[in-house]
Structure 1
Amino acid sequence: MRVRRLPGTVLAAAAAALVLAGCSSSGGGGEAAAEETTSPLSAYLDAVWGGDLSEEEQQRQSEDQNRRVEELVADCMQEQGFEYVPNTANLSWGGGTEYEWEPDDRAWVSQYGYGAVDFPGRDDVPEDTGEEYVDPDGDYVESLSESEQTAFYEALSGPAPTEEQMAAMEDGSYEYDWEDSGCYGAAQHEVYEAEDLSQSAEFASLFEAMDEFWTSTGESPEMSALDGEWAACMDAAGHPGFAQQWDAQNSIYDEQNALYEAGGSGEEYVEPDQAAMDALGEREVELALADLDCREETDYRDRQTSIQNELEQQFVDDHRTELEALRAAAEQD
């Protein structure tokens, strides 16, 4: 298992996402809270990515997309000379969670730190509903010869990965190509990617500008000054060496990655030493609490939100025509 740290451009986008989603430590708030935390850019991006939809609407949208994918796969497989029954059963959208993620709540941080080593629901066992999954294409595939089954799955999902591709998957350098992923790749591309306005040529320059904006936000003079105050506080608390607030959290993920990677890979993989993982968990909580203290001391979240909103408003003012066109295209769909 490998845990992803928050690198470069993702850090800036994540900082923006905190503002888009709101930074409440208490869960609740309803429509008033939603209005309170709506940022200048999220007013446009919610229309593109469904942030303005209820969970029920998002569930229906997900079910519709899955149905369309499966129907396209069936048509594609038939063209390849195979039977295929669309599988639309047991689909659930994973947008909601019963667990609160509260990185600004002291009691939560005292227990979970950043939520890396330990996190809400980690030890939960999935509920056994007693229902056994039945593959609607299982009997048909079983009726095929071994060579026909190989051809079936290659048509469905593309050829098996080569040793080079497996190595690339392991080191994180693998790049997915829908054209090499059979009928599923083509169907998912048509339903998800081809209809994704962020991937369209029409709005390519706008989304490139947004990427540059999110990258530069974390490096703006205002955020650099705020991070400098936070870093000075962390240094005084005995945790030096962090330039940005996200660096503290990333340091834990880096150590956790190292523990997992030390176990090797493949069939010879060995789980990390539990004592070492427990020790990391203790350091995580200690660091996260110091981080929380310094965020509170510097009024980090509120100031970060204010800075982000001001920068977003300037971006909106500079790109209003393109953003309005983007929202209109999203609402038309």
Structure 2
Amino acid sequence: MRVRRAAAPLSALAALTLLLAGCAGSEDASGAPDDAHQESPLSKYFSAVYGGELSPEEQEERFAEEQRRTEELVAECMQAEGFEYTPATGSGGYYVSDGSEWRPDDREWVAQYGYGAVKSPFSEEPPPPEEEYLDPNAEYVASLSEPEQMAFYEALHGPMPTEEEMAEGGGEFEYDWTTAGCQGAAQHKVAGEDPSQSEEFRPLFDAINELYTDMASWPGMAELDAAWAACVDDAGHGGHADPMEAQTSIHDAMNALYEEGGMSEDGSMESGPDQVDMDALAEREIELALADLECREETDYRDRSAEITREVEEQFIEDHKAELDALVAAAEQN
């Protein structure tokens, strides 16, 4: 069976938007915005670039329109390659969350999900779709011979990476729209050039990466992390320098369990992780996450880290105002 590659990876710009969203606004128990956690200065720029200012409904509408335009271009391209292709204009179950399912500062939520690694609201059984998706090209592809099917998918998605290429990339394969067939070309034309991938803005994104890689050196952050680490150590969960490291330890442990399950030659999971081990990890995750939350509350971690972040980002914006404004302007032209 041919394994199709994903249409495209999360762009660096989208990933950065998610990172900065961690410093964005939240609500108190009454549902009112929490003034101490208003949107961070930098996240405002990237929301403007990546559409974060749109409501979930508006994002879904934009996705549907981009999907329609992309599929029309794919059909034209595939026909030029000698194949029939019916545009797949269904939503494909695209869904944008408003973030209300994710409450890492709510004790009841943490007691149920921990960090949301082993279990999370998103991994629970979703409601059945209103309408089952049917691939409009399934019947046509089935009518082709096996070599023709392989040629169809190569024209559609581009050639699959060879074993040598996967080995050179350490088991990973970097997405390149120029080698991603008709889908890649159509998506690139509709979405436009991702500013985060352009040479023009590489220095800006390098500076942002350096900024967040060096968070421990931000004024006041080392002292705050030390206070949190001492608290967690007293609670019997030592060995973590900061909250992010604690959370990462659970994800690393979960990844290790999946790797132990083994992978088949086609990259699929031969057997899932042992359920007893997963249950034990889930229990450990919740214990650590609750201790983490208790210590974040004891050290006033959210408010203090938000203030540190605000000061650092405001200085960064002052130093890179022209580049950031140019980034937003470039995104608006797409």
TM-score class, shorter-chain normalisation, is 0.7 to 0.9
* 1: CA distance, partners of 2:171 / 2:295: 34
- Residue 3 of structure 2 corresponds to none
Deviations 1:200-227 (A, max 9, x none): 3332222222222222234324212211
* 2: CA distance, partners of 1:173 / 1:313: 36
* 2: CA distance, partners of 1:219 / 1:53: 34
- Flag structure 1 segments of 5+ consecutive residues without an equivalent: 1-9
- Residue 178 of structure 2 corresponds to 179
* 2: CA distance, partners of 1:14 / 1:219: 22
- Residue 93 of structure 1 corresponds to 94
Deviations 1:150-190 (A, max 9, x none): 22121111234433456679x64332233332111222233
Q: Percent identity?
A: 54
CA contact (8 A) 2:49 2:331 kept: yes
Cα 1:111–1:135 shift into 2, 3 Å: closer
Does the alignment pair 1:155 with 2:158?
A: no
Does the alignment pair 1:248 with 2:251?
A: no
CA contact (8 A) 1:12 1:217 kept: no
C-alpha displacement of 1:292 = 0.8
Secondary structure, aligned partner of 1:56: helix
CA contact (8 A) 1:63 1:91 kept: no
* 1: CA distance, partners of 2:30 / 2:56: 16
* 1: CA distance, partners of 2:19 / 2:263: 33
* 1: CA distance, partners of 2:144 / 2:38: 56
Cα 1:239–1:141 shift into 2, 3 Å: closer
Structure in which a larger fraction of residues adopt helix: 1
- Residue 189 of structure 1 corresponds to 188
Secondary structure, aligned partner of 2:330: helix
Larger relative contact order, structure 1 or 2 (CA cutoff 8 Å, min sep 6)? 1
Cα 1:128–1:79 shift into 2, 3 Å: closer
Deviations 1:19-57 (A, max 9, x none): 1x324465944xx56996122112221110111112222
CA contact (8 A) 1:103 1:114 kept: yes
From 212, 221, 232, the equivalent of 1:223 is 221
Cα 1:172–1:291 shift into 2, 3 Å: farther
- Flag structure 2 segments of 5+ consecutive residues without an equivalent: 1-13
Say which is worse superposed, 119-128 or 259-268, in terms of deviation: 119-128
- Residue 276 of structure 2 corresponds to 275
CA contact (8 A) 2:158 2:180 kept: yes
Cα 1:35–1:252 shift into 2, 3 Å: closer
- Residue 234 of structure 1 corresponds to 232
* 1: CA distance, partners of 2:45 / 2:323: 10
* 2: CA distance, partners of 1:43 / 1:186: 30
C-alpha displacement of 1:106 = 0.9
* 2: CA distance, partners of 1:17 / 1:172: 30
* 2: CA distance, partners of 1:84 / 1:11: 32
When the two chains are superposed, the root-mean-square deviation of aligned CA atoms in Å is 2.9
C-alpha displacement of 1:307 = 0.4
- Residue 25 of structure 2 corresponds to 22
Deviations 1:215-270 (A, max 9, x none): 22343242122111111111122222111221111111122122211111127722
Q: How high is the TM-score relative to the length of structure 2?
A: 0.84
Cα 1:222–1:102 shift into 2, 3 Å: same
- Residue 294 of structure 1 corresponds to 295
Q: How high is the TM-score relative to the length of structure 1?
A: 0.84
CA contact (8 A) 1:217 1:311 kept: no
